[in-house]
Amino acid sequence: MLNLILFGPPGAGKGTHSIKLSEKYKLVHLSTGDIFRSEIANKTNLGLEAKSFIDKGKLVPDEVVLNMLFSFMDKHLDENGFVFDGFPRTIVQADKFGKMLEDRKISVSTVVSLEVNEEELITRLVKRGLASGRTDDTEEVIRHRLEVYNEQTKPLLEYYNKKNLLHTVYGVGSVDTIFEEICNVIEKNVKGKYDLI
Ligand code: ADP
């Protein structure tokens, strides 16, 4: 399986590039944020629980995210692989995820981190909020999400770097140029190990 983690702060472009990667390499796009938004739209219990955290810019508790992710993954284990978008977001999530993959004899193939400065992130997210009406894309909540990212999610860069899995791509510029660079990183690092379509 080809299992890619697309890593980065809110607004870095993970969603955009994950969709393109899932199409190019025929992978399942697994966005924890998208799953929560769909649960919220369907007014499920999981959606209601997640909404109370998301609207404040907080992370949904690890247990809730992990249960949802594992049950989603187990339905797709016969596919080519996954693009993980917005997961993992804490060290606890990454550790439990690693063990879960090990149990299933699979692993993370590579981690691509999109680097974008904070000013640019805030500009992008405020603009997205105006267009989409996403309730967590207001300036106050965005600033809190960036703090949460710096405190709880950023340490994962070092975590995956120690495992020799981390690669960085500069995420400002044209979508096509950035996507090309992401694909170059993937093809250079997983070449020979997987059938890249
Ligand atoms: P963004 O990357 O712009 O923050 P997402 O759609 O990935 O957008 O996430 C939106 C919100 O969903 C997050 O702020 C968080 O509350 C929740 N969420 C998504 N993924 C996770 C996760 N892996 N762990 C905890 N909370 C998550």
Question: Closest ligand 1 atom, CA of 87?
Answer: 23
Task: Determine the pLDDT at residue 190.
Answer: 87
| pLDDT score at 191 | 66
Q: What's CA 183's distance to the chain center, in Å?
A: 16
Say how many Å lie between the CA of residue 149 and the centre of ligand 1. Answer: 10
Q: Is 14 a catalytic residue?
A: yes
Ligand 1 lined by 89 (C-beta under 6 Å): yes
**Predicted structure pTM score:** 0.95
Q: Which domains does the chain have, with CATH numbers?
A: 2-116+159-190 (3.40.50.300)
* Total length of the chain: 197
Q: Which of 14, 20, 37, 96 is catalytic?
A: 14
| C-alpha to C-alpha distance for 12 and 170, rounded to whole angstroms | 10
Question: Which candidate, 39, 84, 29, places its Cα nearest to that of 60?
Answer: 39
**104 included as an active-site residue:** no
pLDDT in tens, 135-169: 999 999 999 999 999 999 999 999 999 999 999 99
Quote the percentage of the chain above a pLDDT of 90. Answer: 94
What is the per-residue DSSP string for 146-182? HHHIIIIITHHHHHHHHTT-EEEEE--S-HHHHHHHH
pLDDT score for 119: 96
Residue among 39, 8, 4 at smallest CA distance from 114: 8
- The answer, yes or no, to whether residue 197 has pLDDT greater than 60, is no
Q: Does the annotation mark 145 as catalytic?
A: yes
Pocket test for ligand 1, best of 32, 35, 66 (most atoms within 8 A of CB): 32
